[in-house]
Amino acid sequence: MVLAVQIERNGGPEEMKLVQVQVGAPGKGEVRVRHHAIGLNFIDVYQRSGLYQLPLPLQLGMEAAGVVEAVGDGVDHLKEGDRVAYATNPPGSYSEARVMPATFVCKLPDAISFETGAAMMLKGMTAQYLLKKAKPVEGLNPGDHVLFHAAAGGVGLIACQWARALGLRLIATAGSEEKCQLALANGADVAINYRTEDFAKRVHEITGGEGVKVVYDSVGKDTWEGSLQCLRRFGLMVSFGNASGPVPPFAPAALAAKSLYVTRQTLFAHLSSRQACQAMADDLFDVVASGEVKIHIEQRFALADVQEAHRALEARKTTGSSILLP
């Protein structure tokens, strides 16, 4: 028996309960992982609230790092005792240990701690596909401007550093001066406090009226219209989250004046095979091990304090990455 966080119905943080669950032996294609650290992500909030509908009761959590305790038949890339990290479906990482599919569980290099591994897999691989796969039709080249909302968050701080390493000029938005300074310290070219400035107007000033090639937006409803205004001709709007609520329906004609492109991306669409997942993880491991990208763990919560962790996340009181410790 191990401790795990479950919900029996969708709702607020108070719906999360710490319960005892049975963890057995792994079956074919599965491993049992003992968690040392667990990642906290906004997708967990969406699943808890019901914005993303999943069968109930539900054990939450998409990301963790730990040690393989047992390996089922047919698993040849992992063995008992391996240090591992993952970001994958199905949910269940909010636990002391779990049995799960082995396909998207990756060996964690010795140079990277369990806490760092748990804090970076979902956010880091998200930054990887955004900057390297979700590209505008005209491509991205060193010196190009991109706009990244919520740049002081976990994904954002990784993206700021990685964009700098790629030679991109990242324009960051954040909700306070402190958060703007954090984005700048991590490689953003310019930071805009969207609470005190019109970010669309400021972006056009920064780019000489041209606009940016791509906007990366995990905020959703509150930034949608302004983001479209920031794009240059043939620009790409990349929506990958809904922190302020889902984007309302819009008419395709709104894109016509500048022939804009819009895409709604998810990490799990890019994790199409074990090989694809490993390649993305290896790219992330390399850029972290090189020192070009540092993972900032700014909040640590005990697993038993998961309700407090979700409240802080939803109130946008967190910066960088947050983890739960079993």
Reported as a pLDDT band with limits 50, 70 and 90, residue 54 is very high
Amino acid at 226: G
At residue 83, does pLDDT exceed 90?
yes
Cα gap 45→309, rounded to integer Å: 10
292 with 207, same domain: the answer is no
Distance CA 232, CA 229 (A): 8
Cα separation of 189 and 77, whole Å? Answer: 40
Could you tell me if residue 314 is inside a domain?
yes
**Burial tier of 311 (Cβ tally within 10 Å: 0-12, 13-18, 19+):** middle
Give the CATH number of the domain where residue 156 resides: 3.40.50.720
* Three-state secondary-structure class, residue 193: strand
Tell me the per-residue pLDDT of 108-120, one tens digit each, with 9 for 90 and over: 999 999 999 999 9
Residue 217 and residue 66: Cα distance in Å, rounded?
31
Q: Does 98 fall in a domain? A: yes
Number of helices followed by number of strands (H, E) in the chain: 9, 16
Residue 166 shares a structural domain with residue 258: yes
- Which of 238, 264, 290 finishes a domain? 264
Per-chain mean pLDDT for the chain: 95
Average pLDDT over residues 195-201: 96
Instruction: Looking at the structure, tell me whether residues 11 and 116 fall in a common domain.
Output: yes
The model's confidence at residue 214, banded by pLDDT at 50, 70 and 90, is very high
Residue 187 pLDDT level (bands cut at 50, 70, 90): very high
* Whether residues 39 and 109 fall in one domain: yes
One domain for residues 64 and 169: no
- Among the candidates 242, 264, 286, a domain finishes at 264
pLDDT for position 121: 96
At residue 319, the pLDDT reads 84
Say yes or no: 153 and 232 in one domain: yes
- Same domain as 247, residue 287: no
pLDDT tens by residue, 293-319: 999 999 999 999 999 999 999 998 888
- The dihedrals phi and psi of 48, each to the nearest 5 degrees, come to -65, -40
Is-above-0.85 flag for pTM?
A: yes
Q: How far apart are CA 120 and CA 100, in angstroms?
A: 19
Instruction: Produce one character per residue of 23-37: b if its CB has 16 or more CB atoms within 10 Å, e if not.
Output: beebeeebbbbbbbb
The DSSP secondary structure of 70-87, one letter per residue, reads EE-TT--S--TT-EEEEE
Q: How many independent structural domains does the chain possess?
A: 2
Q: Which residue is it, tokens 């005892």?
A: 20
CATH number, residue 300: 3.90.180.10
Peptide bond into 57 cis (omega under 30): yes
pLDDT at 272 over 90: no
Is 140 found in the same domain as 35?
Answer: no
Instruction: Identify the band that residue 235 occupies on the pLDDT scale cut at 50, 70 and 90.
Output: very high
- Residues 33, 57, single domain; the answer is yes
| Residue 26 amino acid letter | P
Same domain, yes or no: 196 and 290? no
CB 220 within 8 A of CB 151: no
Residue range(s) defining the domain that contains residue 51: 2-123+276-325
Q: What pLDDT is recorded for position 26?
A: 98
Q: Are residues 97 and 208 in the same domain?
A: no
Can you give the pLDDT at residue 246?
A: 84
3-state helix, strand, coil in the chain (%, to 5): 30, 30, 40
Contact 65, 35 (CB under 8 A): yes
